[in-house]
Structure formats: C-alpha cells, structure tokens
Amino acid sequence: MLSNRIVQQQGKAESGRLPIRFPCCVLGSECLQLLLRRCREAKDCAYCPYSRFPVGAALLTAGGEIFSGCNVENACYSLGVCAERTAIQKAISEGHTRFRAMAIASDMADFITPCGACRQVMREFGTDWDLYLTKPDGTYIVKTLQELLPLSFGPEDLQKA
C-alpha cells in the first residue's frame, strides 16, 4: 500500500506542487531510498555559476513529508543560500518545525558535510537528526547533527539566562 501511495504522489512532488508524505516516521528502506533520490534530483537544480559546486538536500519532516532544496548562488557572494537551508526554509514556510533526517548530495568524490551556518540553522530545530552524507556512486554514511555540531548553542540555552 505504501508503494502505491508513493508512486501516486511522486509525480506531484517532482513537479514541485506537493511534497511526498509517508504515513509513519520510521525511516525504512523505501523512505530512505526516496530521500536519497530526492537530494540527487535537487542537486541537478542547483544554480551555482560561480563555484560550479552543485549541492542538493532532501529533508524528512517528523510528519513524513520530504522537502528538497538546492544551493542558489548570487553575484554578491554573501547572498547565496546553501541547499540545506533552502530545504529547511521550504519546510518551515509550509508549517513544519520538527525534522527526522536530511540527505545531502554533491558531485564530489568524497562525502561533504553542511557548512557551519547550515549546522546552526539545523540546530535551531533540535539535535536528534540523522544526516545522510552521500557520494555520486550512491554510497552514504550517517551522522547525527550532534556529531557534526558538538557542544552546540540552541534555543533552550536562551532560557538559562
């Protein structure tokens, strides 16, 4: 039943109209494969004429929806936005603030990790994320946000003052 639902909604998601929704938050094989595919597809949409470093990200919400994003550069370099933050901002703009996992893709032969700014933006929404760092050949490793941003500062730290 889940397979049919994914296939039915897949066309809508690829056109950018609706995200794909999974009925549960368990990150099973089918969900993971879709998350990995969506980050690769997002990478192909990257606008990176200056760095020529395309990156794609796919974000799984706690409710089971996937939002993808790519990096978007600007001639004024500091105005560029990373793929990870693009995906997060898309999810936030649709009312989601709880996240389960993110997959990240690039054309690099080795794994890439989110930049410091992206890590801090992720941290705003918790530390219990799984990050799937991928290579073009399809291999991936899994890291937690806590591993990538240890001893972090988050919203709860503002309550301590």
Binding residues for Zn(2+): 82, 115, 118
Q: Indicate the helix (H) or strand (E) that contains 7.
A: helix 2-14
Q: DSSP for 91-160?
A: HHHTT---EEEEEEEES-SS-----HHHHHHHHTT-S--EEEEE-TTS-EEEEEHHHHSTT---HHHHTT
Report residue 134 as tokens: 């991928």
Residues at the annotated binding site? 71-77, 82, 115, 118
Q: CA torsion angle for 53, 64, 141, 117 (degrees, to 10)?
A: 50
Per annotation, catalytic residue among 84, 94, 147, 156: 84
Is 124 one of the annotated active-site residues of the chain? no
Q: Which residues are catalytic, by number?
A: 84
